[in-house]
Chain A
Amino acid sequence: MREADQQFRILRLLDRLQPLLRTTGIHYPTLRRILQVKLLMDRRRVPTLLSNRNRSEDEEVNYFVRSLWLYALLGLMLVLFMMLETQYMLLMSLVMGILMFFIMMSMISDFSAVMLDVRDRSIIMTRPVDGRTVGMARAIHTAIYLLMLTGSLAAASLVAGLIKHGVLFFVIYVIELVLVNLLILVVTSVTYLLLMKYLNGEKLKDIINYVQIGLTVVLAVGYQFVIRSFNFAGMDMAFEPVWWQLFLPPVWYAAPYEWLIGSGGSAWLYLLSALALIVPIILLMLYVRLMASFEQHLEKLAHSDAGRGRPRDRFDRMLSKLVCRTEEERSCFRFSAIMLRTEREFKLKVYPSLGMALFFPYLFLFSMSNSGSAWSEVRESSFFYFLYMMPLMIISAVFMLKYSGKSKAFWLFGAAPFSNLDPLYKGALKAFVVKIYLPLYFVNATVFAFIFGSRIIPDLLGILLVGTAVVPLFGKVMLSDPPFSRSFSMANQSGGGMVFAAMFVLGAVVAIHIASRIHVLGMAAFILALLIINVWGWKRTYSSAK
Chain B
Amino acid sequence: MRNEVLSIRDLRMKFNQRYVLNGIDLDVREGEMIGYIGPNGAGKSTTVKILLGLTKGYTGTVRVFGEDIDAGSYEYKRRIGYVPEVAELYDQLTASEYLTFTGELYGLSADDADSKARQLMECFELEKVYHSRIATFSKGMRQKVLLISSLLHDPDLLFLDEPLSGLDANSVMVVKEILALLSAQGKTIFYSSHIMDVVEKISSRIILLADGRIAADGTFQELQQQSSEGTLEEVFNQLTGFHEHASIAQRFVSIVREGD
Contact = CB atoms under 8 A, between A and B. Distances in A.
A129 B105 contact: yes
Contacts of A40: 92-93, 97
A126 B77 contact: yes
Interface string A291-303: 0100010010000
B55 to A, nearest CB: 6
Interface string A95-136: 000000000000000000000001101111111111100000
A193 to B, nearest CB: 15
Given A1-B131, A305-B16, A126 B84 contact: yes
B10 to A, nearest CB: 22
Contact of B52 (A30, A126, A296): A126
B92 A45 contact: yes
B56 interface: yes
Contact of B88 (A1, A45, A119, A305): A119
Interface string A21-60: 0000000001001000100110011000000000000000
Interface string A159-175: 00000000000000000
A3 to B, nearest CB: 7
Interface string B120-135: 0000000000010100
Given A33-B105, A128-B76, A130-B74, A41 B90 contact: yes
Contacts of B54: 121-122, 125-126, 299
Contacts of B53: 125
Contacts of B131: 1
B16 to A, nearest CB: 7
B97 A126 contact: no
Nearest to A43: B92
A118 B220 CA distance: 37
Given A121-B54, A122-B86, A123-B102, A3 B110 contact: yes
A121 B52 CA distance: 11
B191 interface: no
Given A123-B89, A125-B54, A305-B16, A33 B104 contact: yes
A531 to B, nearest CB: 41
Interface residues of A, number: 26
Interface string B50-72: 00111110000000000000001
A44 B133 contact: yes
A37 B101 contact: yes
Contacts of B137: none
A128 B108 CA distance: 12
B94 interface: yes
Contacts of A124: 105
Contact of B94 (A1, A123, A130, A131): A1
B244 interface: no
A292 B73 CA distance: 12
Given A44-B133, A127-B105, A122 B92 contact: no
A305 B107 CA distance: 35
Given A37-B97, A122-B84, A296-B56, A127 B92 contact: no
A102 B101 CA distance: 35
B2 to A, nearest CB: 24
A528 B84 CA distance: 64
A118 B80 CA distance: 21
Interface in A479-531: none
A124 B106 CA distance: 10
Nearest to A41: B92
A128 B104 CA distance: 10
B113 to A, nearest CB: 11
B90 A37 contact: yes
B168 interface: no
B66 to A, nearest CB: 16
B75 interface: yes
A298 to B, nearest CB: 10
Nearest to B53: A125
A296 B52 CA distance: 12
Given A33-B104, A41-B90, A45-B92, A128 B77 contact: yes
A125 B55 CA distance: 11
B221 to A, nearest CB: 34
B82 interface: yes
A102 B99 CA distance: 38
Given A33-B101, A37-B101, A299-B54, A128 B90 contact: no
A102 B94 CA distance: 35
Given A37-B90, A123-B88, A128 B107 contact: yes
A543 B96 CA distance: 53
B251 interface: no
Nearest to A30: B105
Contacts of B90: 37, 41, 119, 123
B97 A1 contact: yes
Contacts of B15: 305
A1 B77 CA distance: 28
Contacts of B105: 30, 33, 124, 127-129
Interface in B116-168: 131, 133
B78 interface: yes
B106 A128 contact: yes
Nearest to A121: B54
A123 B106 CA distance: 12
Nearest to B111: A3
Interface in A1-19: 1, 3
A128 B93 contact: no
Nearest to A293: B56
A37 B55 contact: no
A126 B78 contact: no
Nearest to B48: A126
Contacts of B76: 128
A174 B89 CA distance: 39
A24 to B, nearest CB: 15
A3 B114 CA distance: 12
Contacts of B110: 3
Nearest to B41: A306
A82 to B, nearest CB: 40
Contact of B92 (A1, A44, A126, A131): A44
Nearest to B79: A128
Top 9 nearest A-B pairs (CB, nearest first) are A128-B77, A127-B105, A41-B92, A44-B92, A128-B78, A126-B82, A122-B88, A122-B84, A119-B88
20 contacts: A1-B97, A37-B93, A37-B97, A37-B101, A41-B90, A41-B92, A44-B92, A44-B133, A119-B89, A121-B54, A122-B54, A122-B84, A123-B88, A127-B77, A128-B75, A128-B106, A130-B74, A131-B74, A296-B56, A305-B16
Interface of A: 1, 3, 30, 33, 37, 40-41, 44-45, 118-119, 121-131, 292, 296, 299, 305
Given A37-B101, A45-B92, A128-B75, 18 more contacts: A1-B96, A1-B97, A33-B104, A40-B93, A40-B97, A118-B88, A119-B88, A119-B90, A122-B54, A123-B88, A123-B89, A125-B53, A125-B54, A127-B105, A128-B74, A128-B77, A129-B77, A299-B55
